[in-house]
Structure 1
Amino acid sequence: MTVMDDWVTAACAELGLDPAKVPVPTVLDLAKDVAHQVLRPGAPVSAYLLGVAVGRGAEPAAAAARLSALAGTWPVELDGTAPAG
């Protein structure tokens, strides 16, 4: 097991969740996309939003793909700010 596996198992036990149902690679890919294409603090917020959507019945991979696609189209200047106008 990895540290991530250990963490997910412990966090799931704390929250009463099944660790086998946690799509770790999907969440990490989404966080990477948002952090690199939108802004770094957006990564954990997006992971939270994904969790809310999944809690309301969304399919994890599909919801993450939609957010990743949105991040891929997000207009950001090279200095990390939104373009004017």
Structure 2
Amino acid sequence: MTLVEWSERVFEELRLSGSEPLQKADVDRILDLARDAAHSVARPAAPLTTYLLGVAVGRGADPEEAAAALSRLALAHAEDDKTD
């Protein structure tokens, strides 16, 4: 099962009908953000950060812009840690 197929099952389970299904680019964006949070902040930051991305998108934020902003934040955190 691909992650796109999994997301389709999750959409069904959560009764998110009427919502656009996730495309591969969406899945990649979420996984990239999770990677940046896990590697730059801490492993537990990955699910928390992607959850908060979902909250923001659910409240109207642009998914690409919000994910990019959060990735920048995580990567900046890692850079800050290097200089401390």
Partner of 1:76: 81
Percent sequence identity over aligned pairs: 47
| Counterpart position of 2:43 | 40
Higher helix share: 2
Alignment TM-score, normalising by the size of structure 2: 0.80
Q: State the partner residue of 2:30.
A: 27
Deviation track 1:36-67 (CA, whole Å, cap 9, x = no partner) reads 11111000000000000000000001000000
Report the structure number with the largest CA radius of gyration.
1
Letter in 1 for 2:31: L
Letter in 2 for 1:20: P
Residues 1-40 of structure 1 show CA distances to partners (whole Å, capped at 9, x for unaligned) of: x431221111010112246246211111100111111111
The runs of 5 or more residues in structure 2 that have no matched partner are none
What 5-or-longer segments of structure 1 have no aligned partner? 78-82
Contact 1:9 1:19 in 2 (8 A): no
CA contact (8 A) 1:50 1:63 kept: yes
Tell whether 2:28 aligns with 1:62: no
Matching of residue 6 in structure 1 with residue 5 in structure 2? yes
Aligned residues: 77
